[in-house]
Amino acid sequence: MAEPQITVGLRNFSRTPVPDWRFLLEQARAADDAGIDRVFLPDHVAFGTDLSGYADPASGGVTGAKQPTGADGGWLEALTTLGALAAVTSRVRLATNVLVVPLRRPVVLAKVAATLDALSHGRFELGAGVGWQEAEYRAAGVPFSRRGAILDETLAACQQLWNSPQADLVGSSFDLTGIHMMPKPAAGGVPVWIGGRPLPRIARRLARFGAGWIPWGATPESYPDAISTMRALVEAEGRDFDTIRLAYSLPTLIADNGALDLSAMLAPVPALLELGISDFRTLARVPHGYDAAREFLTGLDTAFRRQTHQR
């Protein structure tokens, strides 16, 4: 089993106007120095006024969930921001969680990802999904009804462009016959993490493309059943499920004094390790400013390593 890792989500979004977004650079440097394994950024390009899809599983949302910013919240584009984070870090891995992949043209996404891989010395990981918002697709001129098929075609195109000296793939909206793209990412291409529920179409995607799985909408209570279901589905597709890394979203638990309750938050980790989970993700709010962020993240990393017996 892969060594357990701790992953921290950075907030490239805000409900209210932000005077200076460069706090993200300081947080990334702090994560790099504190020993955090990976940082991730979520993704949105634009919003319509109706955000109800965020809580609608039929659209890709999660029952009871609430979109964190509203339609007029500020969002930095995830891949561009990760390029800036790559420039100020040297060790921590850089990921999307998750990129709304069908909004990007396949050859452009492959080039951007390969560029991030080159500039970060192989630290970029592509968390890929379809999102939940039909208006965002409409704004991009992409049919929402075909979002899953477009995601699969895009990932297939990326794999060819990353790994083949000459691509030879024709999709519904692209023709890569005889196409060359350099430089290539590190051996095997950019690692792709597939976001989604334990459903047959997600399992096919995961079996074909996935280095890891980011379950969507799983609760602590439902997670064991979700893993069991996905294992059966993936192995029915001919893939060894044990070759796929599993992510888990740790709940953000606040103590009575208003501080993050690390003990309670990390208490389930040993049992989750027994389920095969190796990547523990949190969107706990990281302080602004390098010194405060470094202190916070060092504490998180230290507590996690103790809980997983890595120190």
Instruction: Quickly state the pLDDT bin for 60 (edges 50, 70, 90).
Output: confident
Lowest mean pLDDT, pick from 56-65, 163-172, 178-187: 56-65
- Tell me the pLDDT tens digit for each residue of 95-154: 999 999 999 999 999 999 999 999 999 999 999 999 999 999 999 999 999 999 999 999
Q: What mean pLDDT comes out for the span 155-183?
A: 97
Q: What mean pLDDT comes out for the span 201-230?
A: 94
| High-pLDDT (> 90) share of the chain, % | 89
Give the structural domain span for 211: 5-307
Q: What mean pLDDT comes out for the span 253-260?
A: 90
Question: Is 18 in contact with 288 (CB distance < 8 Å)?
Answer: no
Q: Is the pLDDT of residue 182 over 70?
A: yes
Contacts of 96 (CB under 8 A, 6+ apart): 40, 41, 42, 43, 78, 79, 82, 125, 126, 127, 128
pLDDT of residue 203: 98
Q: Give the alpha-carbon dihedral of 123, 110, 79, 203, to 10 degrees.
A: -80
Instruction: Quickly state the pLDDT bin for 311 (edges 50, 70, 90).
Output: low
Q: What mean pLDDT comes out for the span 42-49?
A: 97
Q: What mean pLDDT comes out for the span 19-38?
A: 98
Greatest extent of the chain over all pairs of C-alpha atoms, in Å: 62
Place of tokens 């892969």: 2
Q: State the chain's mean pLDDT as an integer.
A: 95
How far CA 5 is from CA of 166, 211, 271, 281, 308, in Å, comes to: 35, 15, 15, 9, 9
Domain count, the chain: 1
- Tell me the pLDDT tens digit for each residue of 221-251: 889 999 999 999 999 999 999 999 999 999 9
Q: What mean pLDDT comes out for the span 29-34?
A: 98
Q: What CATH code is carried by the domain that includes residue 60?
A: 3.20.20.30
- Tell me the pLDDT tens digit for each residue of 266-306: 999 999 999 999 999 999 999 999 999 999 999 999 999 99
Q: Is the pLDDT of residue 310 over 80?
A: no
pLDDT of residue 188: 82
